[in-house]
């Protein structure tokens, strides 16, 4: 399926295409804040994460169909139950159904009809495979690639629209590196044992799918080597994740003619026409080096080899929605990356599919049953409190000049927010969804999304658009939009609990709000101005001060060991760690102000023997209590810009004198850092 471009969105938690959820009854309560998670045998000043989460860790097993378990995955699981109820009713209902209910119900129904899917075997992708096989030359293959990209089966590179880095109000065309099956270029390039094993898993998976598609074992084995060879060449041409964090490395606007000339073997003019793109004249080429190098790959590889590569991506994308043997092969490969023990139940995969394909339609129904107006009001109040905190934090910084402070204030004041769900839901009425045509439904929904994406080129930015569906348990900051966004899915316990005291809520959703606001001022976000443009508004000296302060954070997190001997990548996770630290600090400031202003004394009282500050830190930790399988730990360290839950807690509190004070810690204890880092 067509992947939503997360390039210019900073998430709260790593999104993954391979996460699964676990089920139970519909009435399952949200995982709330509780003192039962605490392990009192641990000294909070020695390891706060163990103290706050120790009992939870002891009592929690990762469900068999999960790679990791934490409040994000648990809430997603709970949301699946709610969405299933909606979809089952919609799938069963009669001709009197509302058009929205017909679409989401029939997409779900076509996915749940396992018997029909099984009977069709590989037939649903036969037309695409035959079209690739029939291609007569390399320029024809590029035309075929454009057609495949429209239905979500594209490969080799990515073509999409994006806000212009220098004029965020306007959307332009963008081409970017892509075309890999493994999660990152390092998997193809690094020579350590684990990476070699992962390449072997890929080879086995490709061999298996081509065998299922009718090749002899010998042919399929050769095909797998071809796929590995071509993807390795693409990986070598790709920019690494850490380098991609710097927006300047992705900033290469040129004329359409220049882009075409950069890599003539891509036949880009024809490609853009085949995708129905408007007749644009300017384009951003995110990584020109990739196109130059892959141009050579298109030259040196034979047409037959390239056909195998393109067919592979058709098979791989379709595999989860074909008959059981394809599904099993696909899951086995995912398992190597996640360690998940069992595939999730089909109904869960089908609910997730509807969320991917018709997310704002399902989201509208989800909001109807879950989200009240009251939630939005309380959130708006908290956002205002956090913005006030960040503003006074910035004003108080000793290392920043008045000139830069003025600019920072202007940017902060311009930050917009979206809470719960969009004002206007996406109109899917043009998509035909049939109850008995799963692959056709997916293709048509993907085509709708591709067209929508490409039609934005050369148009003003739609500021009302959302980058997440309402049930999503996550949040984001977007630099070009200069806005923070909180879908309804995250506005529930343990992030936000109407029944809990403010201290716990400020530690939960308050820190999340602070985290997203701080993204506007992290190592990437600070390079964009109030209008969302890539523009340096810092004095040179303040810029240097900032860099030395974030280096402290990068060094701190690089020392953490995530799994075996694999360290956290302090540079890859720098923006998220900066946001976690800033978010916690300003959320606590907002709480302290609330306590000071509360004349009744209610806010400042102890509850269950804990001060408000202690409950703030406990609420903060509760959100990040987490268990991961070793396989997914490894994958995440290499690909996820977020640190593991344990370090999102311990890494932050050891930088905070406020924590030391709240828990009576002493210098020299592990949670009191000698070199405490402080950016925001
Ligand atoms: Zn984030």
> Residues with Cβ < 8 Å from 669, sequence gap 6 or more?
43, 45, 46
Torsion of CA 138, 139, 144, 148, to 10 degrees: 90
Nearest in space to 38 (alpha carbons), one of 622, 460, 626, 640: 622
76: tokens are 């997603």
β-sheet bridge partners, residue 47: none
Query: How far lies 222's CA from each of 218, 227, 233, 302, in Å?
Result: 6, 9, 17, 14
Q: Does the annotation count 387 as an active-site position?
A: no
Torsion of CA 115, 116, 118, 121, to 10 degrees: 170
Query: How far lies 18's CA from each of 238, 332, 335, 370, 660, in Å?
Result: 22, 12, 9, 26, 39
SS3 254: strand
25: tokens are 């009854």
- Ligand 1 mean position, distance from CA 445 (Å): 29
Torsion of CA 649, 655, 657, 659, to 10 degrees: 10
Pairing of strands 10-11, 476-478: antiparallel
Encode pLDDT of 142-152 as tens digits: 999 999 999 99
Query: How far lies 680's CA from each of 64, 396, 406, 571, 602, in Å?
Result: 40, 10, 15, 17, 29
Q: One of 90, 174, 364, 580 is an active-site residue; which one?
A: 580
- Ligand 1 mean position, distance from CA 530 (Å): 19
Encode pLDDT of 310-340 as tens digits: 999 999 999 999 999 999 999 999 999 999 9
477: left (phi over 0), alpha (psi -120 to 50) or beta: beta
User: Is the distance from CB of 619 to CB of 506 less than 8 angstroms?
Assistant: yes
- Ligand 1 mean position, distance from CA 578 (Å): 9
Encode pLDDT of 611-668 as tens digits: 999 999 999 999 999 999 999 999 999 999 999 999 999 999 999 999 999 999 999 9
Q: One of 501, 516, 613, 631 is an active-site residue; which one?
A: 516
Phi, psi of 393 (to 5 degrees): -60, -50
Question: Does this model's pTM top 0.85?
Answer: yes
> Residues with Cβ < 8 Å from 546, sequence gap 6 or more?
526, 538, 679
CATH 1.10.1380.10 in the chain, residue ranges: 123-321
Specify the higher pLDDT residue, 574 or 18.
574
Nearest in space to 320 (alpha carbons), one of 205, 155, 200, 447: 205
Q: Does the annotation count 580 as an active-site position?
A: yes
Share of the chain above pLDDT 90, in %: 91
For residue 264, count other CB atoms closer than 10 A to its CB: 12
**Which CATH class for the 123-321 domain?**
mainly alpha
CATH superfamily of 47-65+372-422+466-663: Collagenase (Catalytic Domain) (3.40.390.10)
- Ligand 1 mean position, distance from CA 389 (Å): 18
- Ligand 1 mean position, distance from CA 146 (Å): 33
- Ligand 1 mean position, distance from CA 37 (Å): 25
217: tokens are 């074992």
CATH 3.40.390.10 in the chain, residue ranges: 47-65+372-422+466-663
Q: How far is CA 282 from the centre of its chain?
A: 28
For residue 11, name the pLDDT band (cuts at 50, 70, 90).
confident
Share of the chain above pLDDT 70, in %: 96
């Amino acid at each position: 399926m067509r992947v939503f471009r997360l390039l210019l969105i900073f998430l709260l938690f790593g999104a993954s295409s391979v996460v699964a959820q676990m089920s139970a009854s519909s009435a399952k309560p949200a995982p709330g804040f509780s003192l039962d998670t605490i392990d009192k045998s641990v000294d909070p000043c020695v390891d706060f994460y163990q103290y706050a989460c120790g009992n939870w860790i002891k009592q929690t097993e990762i469900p068999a169909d999960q790679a990791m378990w934490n409040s994000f995955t648990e809430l997603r699981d709970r949301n699946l139950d709610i969405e299933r109820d909606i979809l089952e009713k919609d799938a069963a209902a009669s001709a009197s159904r509302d058009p929205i209910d017909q679409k989401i119900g029939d997409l779900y129904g076509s996915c749940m009809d396992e018997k029909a899917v099984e009977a069709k075997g590989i037939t649903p992708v036969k037309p695409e495979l035959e079209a690739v096989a029939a291609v007569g030359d390399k320029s024809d293959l590029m035309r075929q690639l454009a057609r495949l990209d429209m239905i979500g089966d594209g490969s080799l590179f990515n073509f999409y629209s994006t806000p212009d880095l220098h004029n965020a109000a306007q959307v332009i065309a963008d081409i970017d590196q892509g075309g890999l099956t493994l999660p990152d270029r390092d998997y193809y390039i690094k020579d350590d044992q684990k990476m070699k094993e992962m390449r072997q898993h890929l080879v086995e998976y490709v061999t298996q799918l081509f065998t299922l598609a009718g090749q002899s074992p010998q042919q399929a084995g050769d095909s797998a080597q071809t796929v590995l060879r071509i993807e390795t060449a693409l990986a070598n041409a790709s920019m690494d994740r850490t380098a991609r964090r710097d927006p300047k490395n992705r900033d290469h606007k040129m004329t359409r003619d220049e882009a075409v000339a950069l890599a003539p073997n891509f036949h880009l003019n024809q490609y853009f026409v085949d995708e129905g793109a408007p007749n644009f004249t300017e384009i951003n080429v995110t990584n020109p080096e990739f196109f130059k190098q892959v141009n050579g790959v298109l030259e040196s590889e034979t047409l037959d080899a390239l056909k195998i590569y393109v067919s592979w991506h058709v098979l791989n994308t379709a595999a989860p929605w074909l008959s059981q043997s394809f599904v099993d092969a696909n899951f086995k490969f995912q398992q190597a990356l996640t360690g998940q023990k069992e595939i999730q139940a089909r109904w869960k995969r089908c609910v997730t599919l509807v969320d991917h394909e018709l997310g704002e339609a399902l989201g509208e129904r989800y909001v109807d049953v879950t989200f009240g107006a009251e939630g939005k009001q309380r959130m708006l109040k908290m956002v205002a409190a956090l913005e006030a905190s960040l503003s006074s934090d910035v004003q108080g910084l000793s290392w920043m000049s008045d000139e830069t402070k003025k600019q920072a204030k202007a940017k902060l004041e311009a930050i917009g927010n979206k809470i719960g769900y969009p004002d206007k839901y996406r109109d899917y009425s043009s998509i035909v969804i049939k109850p008995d045509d799963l692959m056709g439904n997916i293709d048509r929904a993907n085509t709708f999304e591709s067209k929508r994406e490409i039609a934005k080129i050369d148009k003003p930015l739609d500021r009302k658009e959302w980058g997440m569906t309402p049930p999503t348990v996550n949040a984001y900051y977007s630099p070009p939009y200069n806005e923070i966004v909180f879908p309804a899915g995250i506005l529930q316990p343990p992030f936000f609990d109407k029944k809990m005291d403010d201290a716990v809520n400020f530690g939960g959703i308050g820190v999340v709000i602070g985290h997203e606001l701080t993204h506007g001022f992290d190592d990437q976000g600070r390079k964009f101005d109030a209008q969302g443009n890539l523009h340096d508004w810092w004095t040179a000296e303040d810029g240097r001060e900032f860099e030395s302060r974030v280096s402290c954070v990068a060094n701190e997190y690089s020392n953490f060991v995530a799994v075996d001997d694999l360290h956290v990548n302090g540079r890859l996770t720098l923006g998220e760690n900066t946001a976690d630290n800033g978010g916690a600090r300003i959320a606590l400031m907002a709480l302290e102000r609330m306590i000071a202003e509360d004349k009744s004394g209610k806010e400042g009282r102890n509850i269950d023997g804990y001060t408000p500050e202690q409950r703030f830190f406990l609420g903060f930790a509760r959100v990040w209590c987490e268990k991961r399988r070793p396989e997914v730990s490894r994958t995440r360290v290499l690909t996820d810009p977020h640190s593991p839950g344990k370090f999102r807690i311990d890494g932050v509190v050891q930088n905070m004198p406020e924590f030391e004070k709240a828990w009576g810690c002493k210098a020299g204890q592990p949670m009191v850092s000698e070199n405490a880092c402080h950016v925001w």
